[in-house]
Every structure is written in structure tokens, then in C-alpha cells.
Structure 1
Amino acid sequence: MTSRKPLSLRNRLASLSALIIIPLAALTIALLVILMDYNQSYSKVVNNITEVNPYNVEFEENINYSMYSTIIGQIELDKDKDVLTEGDSKYSRVIQNPYKLIEKARKTFRHLLRECTNTASVSRIRGSLSCLDSLENVIGQIETNIKTSGTYSENYSIWENDIQGLTAMIRDYTQEYIYYETQTLIDLRIKMEARTNTIILMTAGMLALILFISVMSTKRIIGSVTKPIDALCKAAKRMEHGDFTEETNIEAVDEISVLTDSFNGMRSEISRLIEDIKGEQRKLRDTELKLLQAQINPHFLYNTLDAIVWLAEDGQNRKVVNMTTSLSEFFRTVLSQGKDYITIKEEETHVHSYLSIQQFRYQDIMEYEISIDKELYQYRILKMVLQPLVENALYHGIKNKRGKGKIWVRGYASAGIIVLEVEDNGIGMTEDQLAELREKIKGKENPQTSARGGFGLLNVEERIQMNYGKQYGLAFESFYGKGTRVTVRIPKENVPLSKENTQRIEEN
């Protein structure tokens, strides 16, 4: 006779969950059905009372007043009008048309008649409908008397005896209807209390049974899991102290066996990864060092300061202020309080500061245009991404071209990513030069030997791929004699900004 294979950990937990969830779900559904039934009945009665309540007092007052005003000649009845006015003055009082009041009341009572199940309530609604029919006839009689020269005393007698009597009866029927509907609410509450007590007792018994079975099942499951996990914890402690040599062997079934095999695989993988990480850290430190060296170009700073001094000596104070402001903005982004990421708005300001300074020096050969969608301003980007590309476009594109050239900086979103472009109409590159540049960016060639560009492009490429992934980076297009376009692709990272950055975006 073959022994039955024990349930896996997943199946054990699933059985325990089903044992708890199914009875609780059944109890919950039963309770919801009872509550929905009670709520529906309660809402129905409350809506009926709310609907009939205006006919308790307001209906009587409106009918009596409007008909008295008709008898004394203040208003003239008209079945087609919703309201009537006493006289023609703009201060005349507006009175509701008694025919419209009766028509509205009849619709309400007929609707209540369809909704009512209480015999006493039905009787009161039928009485109210009968009184409405009689009231409409009496109003018609008064209207006929007025048109056929009926006397005031005769109409007043009808108003006093018939109209007031009928409206009083409608009021009494309404009050009695409300009383009987209130009794229905009381009956619903008593019924609900009885059902609730039954549900509470059933729930208490079911929970006690579930608790007992759950405790017993949990103890068995815990016992089958904790022992092999304890062994894995001891092995993990050995790894924590640097011992990656001893393999862990634990006899268990299903998930624990898979976990043990994965643990052993992880142990050997960690040994390899440690060496890889050491190499990556060395590479990262080298890249960061080169970035710091590239961030501040001494020649650029010296030339800018020389230009500021020359402008100051020439008395061109406005240009001094502009260049000094641009230089300040440029180095504010370079430093950026040690942060690696800045907003795209700040990156745009950085590039604008750089180009405005360079345009003063090369105003005869260079102009520029920056157009980055404002919707991108909130997203973050590695700092110093665009400036090396713009610098490359100036020194290797525009300066090598005869005549005046232009640099375009663009930014937009496409298919869930951010696309930034730096384009120039400078000298461009031949196909061989373009192929050489692409090989250099892939790391297959020493960047210092390249004809166009230098460390800057490779540095930007490495930083993008190191922080965003290999699927992002730079792409190049170039035609000799026409110009070059460099495209940057990075993911959207809408990280919450500090108050300072948010205020800076809004101000700009």
C-alpha cells in the first residue's frame, strides 16, 4: 500500500484559508441580505412618510387661502396656470393654483397606494383620494358661481363648510397614515433585532469552531516549516560572517526543498557577484571622478570672467549683470547641493545659461533656440546631461562651419519616455566619423582618439545607462555639411519635488 504524499505548504495554507474564509463569507452574505432587506423596507416607509408629510398642514393652508382669495376677488382661477397672483402690482403675492395642488396631491396619493402593504394605511390613502375628488368638484362649483353672478355669502358658506371640511379630512387622513407607517417602522425594528440576535449566536458558535480548527492546523503547519527554516537561518548566519563554502542540505518537501536549492544557488551566486560589485564600484568611482573633472572647465570660466572684466571696463553694466547672472545659474546647477538629480526645468536653465554666455563670445557665428515642453518640467533628470552635448555641438559643429550656425535644444514626451534633442547645422560628420563616434560611445574605442567629441559624450552615455538601464542612452544622426543631431532617451520619473524646486518651476 503506497503512502499518501503530504500536502505542499501552499495547499496547506490554501486549505486553512478556505476553512476560515468560506464560513465567514457565508455569515457575511447572510448578514448583508438581512441588512439589505431591512434597509429596503425601512427606506420605503421613510420615503412614503416624507412624501405624504406636506399634506399634513401645508396643503390645507394653501387650498384654504387660495380659495378664500378667489371668493373675495383677489385672484381668478385658471386651470392651466401653475401659480396665481393677487393683482397686477410687482409686489403682488404669488398663490399656488388649487387645481395644480389637487393634481399633484392625487399623483402622490396614487403612488403611495401602489407602495402600501398595510391595510390601515391603504384605507387612509383611499379616503384622501376620495376627498380630493370632492374638493375638486367643490372648487369647480365656486368657480361656476363666480362666473354666473353667485353671491359672496353663498360662496363663503361653501368655502367655510365644504372646502375647509374636506382639507381638514385630508389632513386627518394624512396624520393617521403617518401614524400607521410609524407602527410599521417599529415592527421592522423588532423583526431586525430578532434576526440580529440569531446571527450573533450563529457567528459566535462558528467563530469558536473556526478558531479551534485554525489553532490545531496552524500548529501542524508551523511545525513543518519552522524546523527547516531554522536550519536555513543557521546557514544564513554563516554566510553573514563570510562563509560561502559550506552547502546546506535539508530534507524537506516541495516549497522548502525549492527554497533550499535556491539558497544554495544564491550562495554561489553571491560569491561571484561580490567580485563583480567590487569591479563596478571601481568603475563608478572612476566615472564620478571624471564627471567632477568635466563639470568645471577652467578655460570656460577664465574666458567668461575675462569677458565680464572687459564689459565692466567698457561700462556695459547691463551685459555685466546678464553674464554674471548666467554664470551664477550655470554653477548653481553644476553644484546643486551635491544632488545627482535635478528637474528638467533646472537642466534647461543650466543649458540656457551656458549658451547665453557662449553667444556673447561667438555672437557672430552662433545663435540658439530652446523649446522643451513645459509638461516635462516636473520630471527629474541626471544633471549635466544636455550641457556636454551642447558644448560638443558648438566646438565640433558650429565653429568648424563657415558662416553663422544655430543650435536647437528640444524636449518632448513620446510613448511614455522623455526625448531630448540637441541639433546643430554645423559641419556634420562623414559616415566614417559617425561610425567611429558610435563605436566610441559603446566603449570599444578610447574616447581621446575620436575626431569629434571627447570624454563628455561617453560620460553622459555611461551615466544614463548606469542609472536608467541599458535600453536608454544617446543616439546620433549626422550628415557631412548639414549638421548633427544627438537624441537622449530617458524614462519618466515624476519624483515628488521639494518646496524649493516646486517654487523655482512656478517662478520660471
Structure 2
Amino acid sequence: MKKQTTIKSLLQRISWLMLVLSIVPLIISVLIYTRYLFAYERSVGNISEANRIANDVEEKIMEEAWSLTYGQMTTAEFSQSNSVNRIKREITEIKKNTQTTQERANLNIVNRSLDNVDSYLEKIVANIEADAPFKENQELMVHVESATNLVHEILQDFVTIEIKLAANHSQQVRQAILLLSVIEAAIIATIIFFSRKTNTRLMRQVQQPMEEMIKMADALSDGKLNYRINSLPGNELQKLSTSMNEMADNLVVLLEENALKQYNLAQSEVRVLQAQITPHFIYNSLDAILVLEEMGESEKVKEMTYALSDFFRISLSQGQDWIPVEKEIKHINDYLIILQIRYGDALTYSIEIEEQIKNYSMLKMILQPLIENAVYHGTKLVRRTGKIVVQAFLDDQDFIHFYIIDNGKGITEKRLKEINAELKDGLDTEFQEGYGLFNVNKRLLLYYGKEAKIEITSIVDSGTTVHVIIPTRKKGGSEDV
């Protein structure tokens, strides 16, 4: 069975190949250039030093010899400044930097000639110390001059040899550069070949599978949940694509299950909310009608009966979840009429609605539970006349804003933080108090998503404001009544 190539091993192999192809020529170039450069520098250094020594032989040695012969320098002074010994040491140093036997043989001749010069100078010193005739020293100076000239000539020959060696090294450097250029060209061609081959392999094993997975991700984000990836090369991406296909399958199942669950939950919560409101509200309203009838308030009986009938007609809405905004406003108006008749002067209200929002639809029974909270948990708990203000307008981002404002007892700062925190928890809220408020919040999130929200502000003993924000929905759809 053929072993699968992983992306990691493929990239490592490419990295090592590129590293070797880039480093090996560099190392070779450095070694060759360094070798020839050092050889060339040694030759140039030998040339410079040999020229200097040749000048010293011609000038210093002869100058010291004549000064000694004519008595311008004592034998003791000559022994201290004898240039021959210094030049012989310098020749030895040059010899260390030589590379060929020809160079060393030439320098050996220079040393022997310097030995002859040194021997003649020692004889001159001996003659001076023995007070020998001046003529003998003159004859020795002839030999010194001849030997010195020979040393100068040999050093010049050495310079010529070094120049030829330097030229040879220069030629070798040029040849090395040419050879390395050919090698570099071959390496570049090899890199291009392997790069194209590697790119093709990466395209087949990495890029194309990645593009397939990106297409799948885009398709899933666009809601095309049936999109699947076909077979991919046997590497990590195959496992990843299989996991994405399985994830998409699970997503479809989960979405279907969640949709059914949320639908049932929403329906259940609507029924629970309706069941919560209906019994005690009906009983109290009917009791109020009886009392009004006994008091002879037939007009109020008629008004309250019509309002109660209209209230329940809109609450049912033939089983529809969505109603026009104007019907939701009519629903809360009927509710407030009933409450105002029941409580008399203890409750007042006003409704301020922009005309343009009546052309939109909204989820029904959103405002009534909030107004009920405002009355039973707000205005009923203060001695002053309770007031409920309902406002609604449309903003520039096509969101409808509802405000339910009361002048009731208000909410403490601590409790207000808890309520707003639970509202932000959304569907995860496990409410114990304020059933109507949190039920409305859940229904908003179930039907509208995170675009809808409820915000509450309050001042103790001054009142509370409930701010409801929902996205717009044009009137006239199949869900409207």
C-alpha cells in the first residue's frame, strides 16, 4: 500500500530541498573565492615586501657599509644598526608566505648572498679594529657592492615570479567564477524545475482541496446546506473535508430539530401567555361590567363591552402570529380603556404613534404584557394618579422603537441590573419573576433573532421606561391579518 504524503512532510521536503540548493552553492563559492583570494593577497603582499627589501638592500646596506669604511660610523654603532640581519629576518617571514619551490629557491639564493655580504662586512670590521690599510677595505667594498647588487637582482626576479603567480591566481579566479556561473545556472534551472513540479503538486494536494472547502463554507453560509465535497487526495485535507461533510449533515439535522423545537416552544409560550392573561382579566372585567350596570353607567358598560370584545378578537387573530402595528396599538388601547374604566381617575394614559409605522407588521401581543407589568407592578403601588405613556417611531435604520413609560414605583438599581442581565441572556433565561416581561423577550428573540431587544431604565419612586426595538416587516404578507 502506498504511504500517504502529509502536507507537513511535503512542505518539510520542499523546505530542505530549497535550503540545500541555496546553501551548497554559497558554501562552494565562499571556499573557492576565499582560497584564491588569500593566495592572491599573499602574492601581492610578497611583491610589496620584496620591493621594499630590495630598496633597503640597495640603500641601507651600502650606506652603512660606506659609513663604516670611511669612519663615519664606529664598529659598535654598525653592530647595533646592521641592516643585513634585519633583512635576513624579513626574508624568512616572506618565505613563510611562499607557495612554490621556485619562490623558496629564489629566497634561499637571497639569503646566501646576504651571508656573503655579512661575511665581507665582518672582514671590514676586523680590518678597522686591526688598523689594516684602507686599501684592503676598499677592495672588500667592491665585493660588498657586487653581492648587494646580486641580492637586489634576485629580489627583483622574485617580484617577477610573484607577479606571474598573482596573474595566475587572477586567471584561476576568473575560471572559478565562470565555473560557478555555470553551476549556478544549472542550480537555478534545477530550482525552476522542482518549483514547477512542487507547485503542481501543491496545487493538486493543497490549493484545490482548500478551494473546494472554501466553496463549501461559502455555500453553507449562504444557506445551501446540501453542498458536499467530493473525494480529495489522501492527506490531512481528506480528513478535514470528511469532517466538514459530517458537520454539514449534522447541521441539517440540528437545524431541523431546532426549528421544530423552537416552533413548538413559541406556540407553547404564546398559549401559556394567553392562558395567563385571560382568566383573571376576564373575571375582573366582567365584575367591573356588572358593577357599572348596577350603577346605571350604561354608556361605560357599552364602551367596556366593545373594548373587551375587540381585545379578545385581536388576541386570537385567527391563529396568526403576525398582525399590523395598527392592530397591536388598537389591542393595547382596548386594554387601557378597560383598565381606565375599572380604576377610574386612578389611571390615565396616552398613545403617541407615528402614522408611517402602521404600514408594517409585527409579532402580536408584545406590548400588552409590558403595559400590564407597568400597571400592576408600577402605578398601582403609588398613591398618585398613575399614568401610562406609549410612544412609537421608526428610525433611519428601519427599526421600530416602542416606549412604555409609567410613573409608578420604579425598580431598585440592584434589581434593574438583574433584570437587564436576564434580558441579555435571552433564550437561556430561567425567569422566576416578571413572567410576562421575559416571555415577551423570548418570543421576540425566537421570531426576530438578535435584532430585537428590550431595554429597561428606571428611577425608584419616579417610574420605569421599557424600550422595545424590532426590525421592520412590511404589511401585507401571508402572515398578516
TM-score, reference length from structure 1: 0.46
Relative contact order higher in (CA < 8 Å, ≥ 6 apart): 2
Counting helix residues as a fraction of each chain, which structure ranks higher?
A: 2
Q: Which has the higher Rg, Structure 1 or Structure 2?
A: 2
